[in-house]
Amino acid sequence: MSTPIQQIRELRALHEEGLLSANEFAQRKNGILDSVFRLSTNVQDKSSENAELTPRPNQQKKQIETMANTTDLGYLIGQHLLGNGKEYQLQTLIGQGGMSQVWKVHDLSTEAELGYSEALALKILSPELSQSTLHRRLLIEEASMVRKLAHENIVRVYDWGRDPATSSVFIVMEYLEGQDIEQYLRQQLARATPEQRGLSLQHALKILKPIANALHYVWKKQGLVHRDLKPSNLFLCKNGQVKLLDFGIAARVASSSSPPSSTEHTVHSSLLPLAGTTGYRAPEVQHSEDTNIEDSTQDASADVYALAVMLYQMLEGTLPFGETRYRYHQANKPKLLNQAQWGILQRALSWNAKERQTHPFGFLRDLEQAGTTPPLATPINDTERRAIQRQQQKLVEQQRRQHASQALLYLQAKVCDSKPKAAMQNKSSNWEQSLRYLKTVSQNVNDLV
């Protein structure tokens, strides 16, 4: 377990490299110092008490109940975690694996300040990963980039922190109600028939199109790829919205098993091999050390491959190549795809990354254009949308001005033509006719403008 001084030194290094602002560095440093003071005060209070060495029966019962509430990583229901000057209380264990746990938490600091706080989710890394300098750095780097993203189909990352008492590194995220797509698929595939083994193509695209849209946004915004796409990283909310979960944060951190050295802390997360999950991992990632792989670079084509695997799984109820794929391993054509669509899916599942579509959104768009469903429109961000709206408003205003100008010119010509005739007519009738005509033309101009 690192000391508070070492933690502050790590924060200072992150600040000097631009990953932390001066204000954030000061807040986190003060949070560490405050936590150290709080812990020392608690130790003094406990040492001053004359507690019995042998616990009483009631105390033993409470200890047994507490042990029943523990988890594989040793966290307790009701336990408090501190980080970045905030305090969180663990409420419900949402999910866990060998690398991390996800908890529903209560934001005690926000509630104390505002009188109300929404539920949050805390992703806590295992002690082995939390105590590694390299792993901590990669996690902070990833969280710092992802929390800049704001998209309706991406789970929000609000902050990251490190509890001074346990040295646990965690990520503070948006809390979602619903189930992941892996659970949803399991329920849907249980009702499968020989005629339809999985979901319909429209149903599958309804799930995957928002994800492709989110990946397109992330690629344009930050130049990031997910690299760990799989059904358990897609979340179906109760309102029907599909959200993309963490951008391979834990997977990238855990992909490096070598012990940290003096130079390893400078390694960028994109250089780590074997990101992703078996069965969904692209060949150039799975066999990154194989010299027979034409292209070992890991870019958006790896996300195209994983998205194609998920689409195949949704349609057929099984992975196209099983857990491990080899070069000449070919998948069977899904029944619901026509020959043109199957060709597009085969291209996305290509062994050679250079033969795949350049981005997941392009893959789904080509697939839809080859079928009977309407093609996807190219996604645009808010800035582009506002620019298009302003241009349309300018065109409408120009048309209105042209119509008004033409109407006024027409009015002027009519008045000039009526002067000779007016001289030969009665003055009263001339004035009445002119007024009626002017009212009519004025009404037409108002309608045009």
Looking at 175, 198, 226, the residue that finishes a domain is: 175
Distances in whole angstroms, Cα of residue 296 to Cα of each of 219, 224, 285, 291, 292: 20, 17, 7, 9, 9
Q: What's the mean per-residue pLDDT of the chain?
A: 75
| pTM (predicted TM-score) | 0.64
**What is d(CA 424, CA 431) in angstroms, rounded to the nearest whole number?**
13
> Is the residue at 256 inside a domain?
no
Q: Do 196 and 333 have their domain in common?
A: yes
Q: Do 215 and 315 have their domain in common?
A: yes
Give the DSSP H or E segment for 179: strand 178-180
**What is d(CA 103, CA 98) in angstroms, rounded to the nearest whole number?**
15
The whole-number pLDDT of residue 428 equals: 53
pLDDT, tens only, 356-387: 998 888 899 999 888 764 445 555 566 667 77
> Is the residue at 271 inside a domain?
no
State which residues form the domain around 6. Answer: 1-175
> Is the residue at 269 inside a domain?
no
Q: Do 120 and 150 have their domain in common?
A: yes
The whole-number pLDDT of residue 285 equals: 80
CATH number at residue 157: 3.30.200.20
C-beta separation of 268 from 142 below 8 A: no
The whole-number pLDDT of residue 62 equals: 46
Q: Do 72 and 147 have their domain in common?
A: yes
Q: Do 218 and 315 have their domain in common?
A: yes
Q: Do 154 and 303 have their domain in common?
A: no
How many alpha carbons lie under 13 Å from residue 74 in its C-beta half-sphere? Answer: 8
The whole-number pLDDT of residue 252 equals: 52
> Is the residue at 253 inside a domain?
no
| Angle subtended by helix axes 4-16 and 133-146, to nearest 10 | 50
The whole-number pLDDT of residue 405 equals: 74
**What is d(CA 227, CA 247) in angstroms, rounded to the nearest whole number?**
7
C-beta separation of 87 from 115 below 8 A: no
> Is the residue at 437 inside a domain?
yes
Looking at 330, 348, 379, the residue that finishes a domain is: 379
DSSP letter for 266, please: G
Q: Tokens standing for 24?
A: 């954030």
pLDDT, tens only, 28-78: 777 666 665 554 554 445 444 444 444 444 544 444 344 344 455 678 889
**What is d(CA 332, CA 37) in angstroms, rounded to the nearest whole number?**
64
> Is the residue at 52 inside a domain?
yes
The whole-number pLDDT of residue 48 equals: 46
Q: Do 341 and 442 have their domain in common?
A: no
Q: Do 327 and 435 have their domain in common?
A: no
- Taking CB atoms within 8 Å and a gap of at least 24, the contacts of 409-412 are 410/441, 411/438, 411/441, 411/445
Q: Do 77 and 139 have their domain in common?
A: yes
> Is the residue at 315 inside a domain?
yes
Q: Do 112 and 29 have their domain in common?
A: yes
Q: In what order do the strands lie in the sheet with 234-237?
A: 178-180, 234-237, 242-244
**What is d(CA 399, CA 395) in angstroms, rounded to the nearest whole number?**
6
The whole-number pLDDT of residue 400 equals: 76
> Is the residue at 259 inside a domain?
no
Looking at 118, 150, 175, the residue that finishes a domain is: 175
The whole-number pLDDT of residue 139 equals: 78
If one counts every other C-beta atom within 10 angstroms of the C-beta of residue 61, the result is: 11
pLDDT digits (tens), the chain, 449 positions: 456 666 676 667 666 666 667 776 777 777 666 665 554 554 445 444 444 444 444 544 444 344 344 455 678 889 999 988 899 999 999 887 667 889 999 999 989 988 888 899 999 888 777 777 877 777 777 788 888 888 999 999 998 888 888 888 899 999 999 999 999 999 998 887 777 788 999 999 999 999 999 999 988 877 778 888 999 999 999 999 999 987 655 445 545 444 333 333 333 434 444 567 888 988 888 766 554 444 444 568 889 999 999 999 999 999 999 888 888 888 999 999 999 999 999 999 999 999 999 888 889 999 988 876 444 555 556 666 777 777 778 877 877 777 777 777 777 676 666 555 555 555 555 556 655 666 665 665 555 44
C-beta separation of 138 from 255 below 8 A: no
What number of residues does the chain have? Answer: 449
C-beta separation of 216 from 361 below 8 A: yes
Secondary structure of residue 160 in the 3-state scheme: strand
Q: Do 203 and 307 have their domain in common?
A: yes
Considering its fold, how many domains does the chain have in total? Answer: 3
Q: Do 212 and 163 have their domain in common?
A: no
Distances in whole angstroms, Cα of residue 327 to Cα of each of 92, 272, 286, 289, 358: 44, 23, 12, 14, 21
Q: Tokens standing for 181?
A: 């797509």
The whole-number pLDDT of residue 208 equals: 96
